[in-house]
Amino acid sequence: MRLCLPAAVLALLCGAAAQAQAQAPRASVPTSTSAAPASAAASSSHVSEAWTRSERERIASERAHVEARFSSEETQCYRKFSVRDCLDEAKSTRRLALSDLRRQEVSLNDAERKRRGVEQFRRIEERSSPQRQQREAEARAKAQTEQATRDQRARDKLLQREDAGQRAAERVQQDERRRQAAGDNAASRARRVETEAESRSRYEQRLRAAEERKAAREKRQATRTKPPASALPVPN
């Protein structure tokens, strides 16, 4: 069974389709990366982000205008005798206008999705291009070189700090050895002085003892060599 549409409705639909094609040109997106280069894919897309934004603003403005017009017509309908017919006509006009704006919005979304697909395809192809790979390899090599330089600089600084700490420890040890040597020398000198004093004291004691023995010996000798005393006279 065939469905017959009124000529006016059919003409309205044809006009709406032609308007959608004029307002939202479609962008062809390659189905595979080997189908066409990114430059060809980019040239086949006539939808820009700025155009998409302006179209969305236009659709929103027209939708707001449709709602405002319907509100005004609705108010006018309540002033007429046939309120129901007037409201039905205003709602039908509003519904057709909003439907057409929605169709334009859907077409715009489709064009936006295809534009993003083209941009994503371009980015993928740029990432896989030899020039991009060469730039990335050079950037990685540069980053590795810079990191190696930073690591070497850090190691050098660490070695310098370790050397400085070792030299400081050696200086402390040298100072300690000098102080210990100075203390040993002082103790040695004190022991020598003490030993000399003890030796001198013993020497003096021996000397006094020798003098005392000599004096005693001389005294004994003097006693032995003294002439005997003369006899007392005999009384008459």
Domain definitions of the chain by residue range = 19-128, 130-207
Residue 86: CB atoms within 10 Å: 17
Q: State the sign of the Cα–Cα–Cα–Cα dihedral 3, 9, 11, 15.
A: negative
pLDDT tens figures, 27-40: 333 333 333 333 33
Contact criterion met (CB below 8 Å) for 101 and 9: no
pLDDT at 96 (0 to 100):
93
Q: Is the pLDDT of residue 211 over 50?
A: yes
pTM over 0.75: no
Q: Is the pLDDT of residue 225 over 80?
A: no
